[in-house]
Each structure stands twice: as C-alpha cells, then as structure tokens.
Structure 1
Amino acid sequence: MSSNAIRAIRRKKSTLSEVRVAVLGGPSVGKSALTVRFLTKRYIGEYDHQSENRYKHEGLVDGEPVLFEILDTCPKPADGDSAEFSAASWADGVLLAYSITDRSSFDHARKTRQKVYEKCLALSEPRPLPPIILVGNKSDMIHLRQVSTEEGEILAKDWDCWFREVAAAEQVTQVAEAFHEVVREVWTARRQQQRHGRSGNLLAAAAAATASASSPALNTSISSSCLLASPSFPPSGALPGQGRAPSPVCPPPSTSSLLGRVLGARAYARGKSDSALPKD
C-alpha cells in the first residue's frame, strides 16, 4: 500500500468501517490463495493448513477506509454444514468461491448457499441471508475448464448477486475488486436496514398516535418531544456516501394534533441511490 493511501486511512480513522468477510467454498478451490493475494499481493500455490485462519487488514474501498476481518475457512467432511453456516452467520458478507476446473466445486457452492439460506430461515428468530458474491477461480486454466462462464453468470443471476471469474495465480486487481465488492454489498445492506428501521419507527409512532388521539393529557405531555430518533448505525461511524446522521425529527409547533405531526414528519432525507455509488 502506498504512503498516500496509508495517510488517507489515518486521516479518516474516525469513520473507519469494519466489515467481516467469510471466504467459503469447497476444498482446493483457492480460498487461501485468493485471501493471501488480496492481503499481500503475493501468490502462494500450495497450502496445507488444517484449520481456519483469520486476518485483519486495513484498506480503502471507493476512497473510504475499511477494516477487513477475513475468515479463511477450512471445511472438513466431519463438520457437515455447520462450519460453513457458522462462518456465514459470523460474517457481514460472504465471498463464495469455486474452481472453473472442478465441476463438483461449482455444485458445492450452489448447495452451500442454499443450505445457509435454509438454516437462516429455520432459526427461532429468522434472519436474512448475508450478502454473497460468487467468484470462479482459476480462470487462467482454460485447458482444464469444466464450468463455463455462462453457467456462473446464470447462477449469479438466479441469486441476484455479483459474479466474476478471476485467477488468483495471475491477477491482483481483479481479486482485490472481488473483496471490495463484498464491502459494497455490505454497505448497501446496512443502508437498507437503516431505512427499514426508520420506516418501522414512523409506522409505530403513527399507530401510537392513533391509539392515544382521544387522550388530551397524553397529547399535551408529548407535544414538545421528538417523534423519531435516527438509529445510531453503524457504531464505528457514518456510512460511506452519507453525511452526518439526520437529527431527530420533531413535530412542527403549528400542527394541532399528534397524528398530524406524525404524518407530517419526514423519517430521513433520501440520498443518492445505490446505483449512483462510485465503482472502481
């Protein structure tokens, strides 16, 4: 990393965004090669680790400082699906890899995503699937190809996710772009959760106002209070592409009823759409 990039990270330390990334995939698809290529820009062809490895790395994504925490998984047959589900549950986003030279690894990726999705729904408190991107590794080994580019594109379209074929052995920028895309997907998911949370707060306030409209004493007691408070997310600072978090929305003093104040309040000021976010 250049000295200018390091200085930029230090200047923006207060807005550092933390993102946890799990690298999933079948055996020998190049998970460690992809991870190490991203972290060090070096390529190491052979790995013989028997357990998962976790790394921390600071970098810039679209000019914003990010603290990556990357989990390089090492699934074992005895673990079944539990290890990959635990990794996906821990992560903010997932890089799911397969090898274009191994048909079984492509099937493994497809089944892994489906099983993680089913387990997320089966929890006592169901949660959404973490953002996932699909990466076909070893694209330099065309003579051994077993999975076509079109198959990867079709699967990614079914999942509505980002897809790219890369070669950890030869490419640096393309591999880094894959990890950066995980961060962008996580940022998009966080913004959506933030918006949904604000919408839920507004609906709840409206329902409470309707229920208490017949109570003059209650209306008087809360006439000077704020109706909504913006959520303090993320805890590590403002989201990239966004300014300071909106101030709590207070009712205008001229309105006569609590319900009118609720319906007249704005939960947030809509910013740029996700499609307008800068891309590398």
Structure 2
Amino acid sequence: MNTTKCWSAPGDKTVLDYTSLRKLSIGMKSPLPIFRVLILGASSVGKTALIVRFATRRFIGDYDSTSERIYQCQRSLLDSQHVNFIVLDPISNEFKAENEFRDQILWADAYLLLYSVTDQSSLDEVDRMRFLINYTKRSRYREKNLFSSAGESVAFLVGNKDDVFGERMISYEMGLARSRELNCSAFFEISVRESVDAPAKIFRDLYETWNQTQQYYSLRPQVLAQDASSKLQLRSRLQNNRSISLQQSISPTSSGRSSSEGEISPRLKRKLLPHIRAKQFLIGLSQQNLEEYGDSNAELK
C-alpha cells in the first residue's frame, strides 16, 4: 500500500493555517489510524527531501520553499498494521506568524526536529523549536485543565547530510547529547540523499513511540485510581491490625482465652517497653510514699 497524495496551501495562501489543516484532515477519511507529523527545522536542512524520500522513495534536490504542502501516504508497519501518515512540510518560521505556528503545533501528533550536521546554527534552531512545542502544548493543557507532561510531546531529533565529508561541524556525540537535553524520544543521523530505508524507519518508529505514549496516558488515570484505592485499603488494614494488637496487649486475658492468645509480639513489646517501665516506676514510687507516710504516722502515735 504505497498511495501518496500531496496538497498545497489553498488560493494565494502560502501557510496552511489550522482551518485549512482541519478541512484537509476531515477530507482524508480513512478506516486506517491517522498519524499527523510536523517537521521543523531551519532553512535548507532537508525537510522536504526527507518527506518526499519517505513518501515516494525518490530524492529530489530542489524544491519550492515558498508554499507549504501536506503529504498523505499509507504505510504498513512491522506487525502488518497499516497507518495513514499525514506529514506537514512547513515553510521557514521567519515567514510565519506566531499564531500560525502555534496552530500547526497543536494540529500535529508528533514532531521531527531536523538539523544539518554541516550547520551549527540549525542545531541551535532546534532548541527554539523544542521550547515552542513544549510551551504551546502546556498552555493548551492549562486552558483545558488537563494533565500535562513533557513526555506527551513525542519528538525525534534527526541530523541530516552525514554524507558531506570535510564540512561536518556537529559530531554524532554532540547530536546525541543535545537529543537528551531536549528530552527527545530518539536520535538519528542519516543522509536523505544516500539512504532509502532510513527515512521509513524514522517515521515508523515515531508512530510506534507515539502510539505507546498514547496507550500509557490513556491508562494512567485508571492506574492512578487503582493505586490510590489500594493504598487506602492497605492503610485501613494496617490501622485495624494496630488497634487490635494494642487492645490485646492492654486488656487482661479473659478466662476463656488461653495465655498464648494474649501474648504480645516482640515488636510490640519493644514499642511498649518504655511505657511499661515508666508505669512500673510510678507504681513503685507511690508505694514508697505510702510506706513512708505509714511510718511517720506510727512515730506520731
């Protein structure tokens, strides 16, 4: 199943706003699971080339970067499950209004942060993109009073153009370290020009990671509720056991109960020992005072 379709921004528009994206998504009715991906990065890092390589397995060096496009392709995963991938190819962010960029972040399910290993500034741009993703997602969750976590924003960091020898400025180790700093779910370093299978693996792994995250957070309220209920039951059970043990240790043994049933556990004995000693001391002191009082009365007589 290798069907691929492409749509551009309607009319004279160069940016696909939230309304256009929503209309396109509704028009792409499919019985298959839909997975929306947004690719972010600086200019000339290979965003469009990566999408076209994944969607058509072809490499084209020159693209029109003045208009945004959205690609739809259906792919099968390793478990024979088919997924409808919808990938947004945006224009550079310097030509985009803040609200348009925010709408695209909220539209997407997951993100690919792309940089070039030959351009240090492109890696710095990735930092800004990741911050904007987290900020936008958390703002929306606060508006809806929903649970928010940075782990919900699934993003992969991808370094491109590793086939360009002699011009590398960013090592693999630097990219991996940056991926961990940005809390990205995975890190890849590829060459879109040379590799055919690597882009497909990136998109499939991105869907698998996002799907597992969705399952975790969908089950999390139930898990938290079960944990809270279990903790309350355990706490109530412990309190009941402690009260029963304390009553058995304080109350005298009934006539119909054997001496073994009224025995106190060693652990409880250690806890009660200071109190018992203090009580014995007070009893002894009171008896001594009574004896001294009796002796003084005898002398007076």
TM-score, structure 1 normalization: 0.64
The AA in structure 2 aligned to 1:165 is E
Matched, 1:134 2:157: yes
Matched, 1:167 2:167: no
The AA in structure 2 aligned to 1:166 is I
The AA in structure 1 aligned to 2:36 is R
Alignment partners' CA distance in 1, 2:206 and 2:76: 13
In the superposition, relative to structure 1, how do residues 115 and 171 fare at CA in structure 2: closer, same or farther (>3 Å)? same
> In terms of Rg, which structure is larger?
2
Alignment partners' CA distance in 2, 1:76 and 1:156: 21
- Aligned 8 A contact 2:159 2:188 in 1: yes
**2:16 alignment partner in structure 1:** none
The AA in structure 1 aligned to 2:218 is Q
Task: Please report how far the alpha carbon of residue 89 of structure 1 lies from its aligned counterpart in structure 2 after TM superposition.
Answer: 1.4
- Give the stretch that moved more between structures: 111-120 or 18-27: 111-120
Percent identity, aligned pairs only? 30
Report which of the two has the higher share of helix. 2
Alignment partners' CA distance in 1, 2:193 and 2:98: 29
Alignment partners' CA distance in 2, 1:201 and 1:128: 18
The AA in structure 1 aligned to 2:169 is Q
Matched, 1:114 2:131: yes
Report the number of matched residues. 198
Matched, 1:58 2:74: yes
Task: Please report how far the alpha carbon of residue 91 of structure 1 lies from its aligned counterpart in structure 2 after TM superposition.
Answer: 0.8
The AA in structure 2 aligned to 1:79 is K
Select the structure with the greater relative contact order (CA < 8 A; seq sep ≥ 6).
Answer: 1
**2:218 alignment partner in structure 1:** 194
Residues 67-99 of structure 1 show CA distances to partners (whole Å, capped at 9, x for unaligned) of: 111111113414255444322211111111111
In the superposition, relative to structure 1, how do residues 168 and 183 fare at CA in structure 2: closer, same or farther (>3 Å)? same
**1:260 alignment partner in structure 2:** none
Q: Please give the residue correspondences for 1:29-40 in structure 2 after superposition, counting only pairs within 5 Å.
A: 29-40=45-56
- Aligned 8 A contact 1:34 1:175 in 2: yes
Unpaired runs of 5+ residues, structure 2, are 3-29, 231-301
Unpaired runs of 5+ residues, structure 1, are 3-13, 207-280
Task: Please report how far the alpha carbon of residue 185 of structure 1 lies from its aligned counterpart in structure 2 after TM superposition.
Answer: 1.4
TM-score, structure 2 normalization: 0.59
Matched, 1:155 2:174: no
Task: Please report how far the alpha carbon of residue 17 of structure 1 lies from its aligned counterpart in structure 2 after TM superposition.
Answer: 2.0
Q: Find 2:37's aligned residue among 21, 24, 31.
A: 21
In the superposition, relative to structure 1, how do residues 60 and 120 fare at CA in structure 2: closer, same or farther (>3 Å)? same
- Aligned 8 A contact 1:98 1:137 in 2: yes
